């Protein structure tokens, strides 16, 4: 399932395919959002199956008072990828996104970048696809109702991914800002959901077998308290993804079986930063490969403590690179210097003098 990308795909070794936001939107709409999420989920699942082949490191975070900027690298030995991503919860007040991102895929054998792409939209898609993959193994059988608390940028993607992979078609929405809930409900019209707009998180969780939390606040928040969570539910905790930024009361964690992406990163960033450093957790890749159990019974409370790991972004980059061969939604970026004599970089520069 590995993609070897040829840097010369468009016209020459100096040219790197670049997927702008505009082209990403065209690509996603060309494929169809549900199909895109389902196909991307399959790529993520494939890469989780070959987890041991990847370089792994907790992402490299630069924290400030307002937010965080992170680099997320990984390689499978053939292809290297990284994502630049920020998280600034206060941004939306100024009309800016909480999360923006871009990413690169490179050929390990030459080191040449082979794809540069926007990843703000792609991150929302890959986060939702990963959540749905986890839920396939962890959510109660035949779950059809999901609460989504936090109805911002990620929320519609989560809803559609859970519909595409699990058949969830009933949503209970809550946000402290009712206009976010109205936006989410309006955006999901025509996608086959029965939607209830709720006035509290407590109301939203009633009757839901899956609880998704996707709020943004740079603090220890308590979006769900212990009494709100009945046995047998699956919690998809997306918003707690930074030191000092969590969404669940600690007692919920103590009652749940906890599943994570990459423990060294999740222990720093996830809900489990509230627990002892040796509190037992299962790794999602172990569940997907059948080495660890996922859901074992109807009363088990499962928690996917999602923070977002580099391998998911690698899968997303790999998926987009593969899609571009049939759907060429990219520009050609003159990004790499390519002198006729590889050692004559200076000469190439000087020869450009008279060019314009």
Ligand X SMILES: NC(=O)c1ccc[n+]([C@@H]2O[C@H](COP(=O)([O-])OP(=O)(O)OC[C@H]3O[C@@H](n4cnc5c(N)ncnc54)[C@H](O)[C@@H]3O)[C@@H](O)[C@H]2O)c1
Kindly report the CA angle at 54 between 312 and 280, in degrees rounded to 5? 75
Out of 76, 175, 282, 283, the residue judged to bind ligand X by CB under 6 A: 175
Among 34, 46, 203, 217, binds ligand X (CB under 6 A): 217
Q: Is 127 in the site for ligand X (CB under 6 A)?
A: yes
List all residues 6 or more positions away from 296 whose beta carbon is below 8 Å from its beta carbon: none
Q: Does 241 participate in catalysis according to the annotation?
A: yes
> Judged by CB under 6 A, does residue 132 bind ligand X?
no
Q: Does residue number 221 form part of the binding site for ligand X (CB under 6 A)? A: yes
Q: Which of 313, 290, 265, 311 is nearest to 51 (CA)?
A: 311
Site string for ligand X, 65-104 (x = CB under 6 A): ----------------------x----x-----xx-----
- Looking at the Cβ atoms of 224 and 320, the one nearer to ligand X is 224
Helix axes 33-49, 155-166, angle to 10 degrees: 70
Q: How many residues in the shown chain lie near ligand X by CB under 6 A?
A: 29
Residue 49 exposure: Cα atoms within 13 Å on the Cβ side: 10
Q: Could you please report the per-residue DSSP string of 338-355?
A: --SSTT-HHHHHHHTGGG
- CA angle (58 as vertex; 302, 72 as ends), nearest 5: 105
Burial class (CB in 10 A: 0-12, 13-18, 19+), 10: middle
Among 58, 81, 113, 239, binds ligand X (CB under 6 A): 239
Query: Of 255-294, which residues contact ligand X (CB under 6 A)?
Result: none
- Please, which residue, 5 or 148, has the CB nearer to ligand X? 148
Q: Determine, following the binding rule CB under 6 A, whether residue 307 of this chain makes contact with ligand X.
A: yes
- 241, 278, 313, 331: the catalytic one is 241
Give strand pairing partners of 118: 102
Strands 79-87 and 101-107: antiparallel
Q: Closest separation between CB of residue 59 and ligand X, Å? A: 11
Stretch that binds ligand X, among 217-225, 275-283, 329-337, 339-347 (CB under 6 A): 217-225
- Binding-site ranges for ligand X (CB under 6 A): 87, 92, 98-99, 123, 127, 149-154, 174-177, 180, 214-217, 221, 223, 238-239, 241, 306-308
Active site residues: 241
């Amino acid at each position: 399932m590995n993609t070897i990308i040829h840097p010369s795909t468009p016209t020459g070794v100096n040219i790197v395919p670049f997927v702008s936001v505009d082209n990403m939107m065209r690509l996603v709409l060309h494929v169809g959002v549900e199909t895109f999420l389902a196909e991307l989920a399959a790529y993520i699942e494939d890469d989780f199956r070959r987890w041991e082949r990847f370089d792994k490191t907790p992402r490299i975070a630069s924290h400030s008072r307002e937010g965080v900027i992170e680099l997320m690298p990984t390689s499978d030995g053939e292809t290297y990828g990284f994502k630049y991503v920020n998280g600034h919860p206060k941004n939306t007040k100024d009309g800016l996104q909480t999360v923006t991102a871009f990413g690169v895929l490179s050929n390990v054998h030459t080191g040449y970048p082979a794809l540069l792409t926007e990843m703000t939209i792609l991150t929302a898609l890959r986060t939702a696809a990963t959540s749905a993959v986890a839920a396939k193994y962890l959510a109660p059988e035949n779950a059809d109702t999901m609460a989504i608390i936090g109805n911002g940028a990620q929320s519609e993607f989560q809803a559609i991914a859970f519909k595409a992979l699990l058949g969830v078609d009933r949503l209970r929405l809550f946000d402290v800002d009712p206009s976010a809930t109205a936006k989410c409900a309006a955006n999901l019209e025509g996608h086959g959901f029965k939607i209830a707009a709720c006035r509290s998180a407590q109301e939203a969780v009633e009757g839901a077998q899956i609880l998704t939390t996707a709020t943004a606040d740079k603090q220890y928040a308590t979006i769900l308290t212990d009494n709100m969570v009945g046995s047998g539910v699956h919690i998809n905790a997306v918003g707690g993804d930074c030191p000092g930024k969590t969404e669940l009361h600690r007692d919920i964690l103590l009652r749940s079986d906890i599943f994570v992406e990459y423990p060294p990163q999740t222990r720093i960033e996830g809900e489990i930063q509230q627990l002892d450093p040796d509190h037992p957790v299962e790794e999602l890749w172990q569940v997907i490969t059948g080495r660890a159990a996922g859901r074992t019974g109807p009363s088990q409370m499962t928690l996917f403590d999602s923070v977002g790991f580099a391998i998911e972004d690698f899968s997303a980059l790999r998926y987009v690179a593969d899609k571009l061969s049939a759907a060429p939604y990219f520009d050609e970026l003159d990004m790499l210097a390519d002198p006729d004599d590889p050692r004559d970089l200076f000469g190439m520069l000087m020869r450009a003098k008279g060019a314009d």
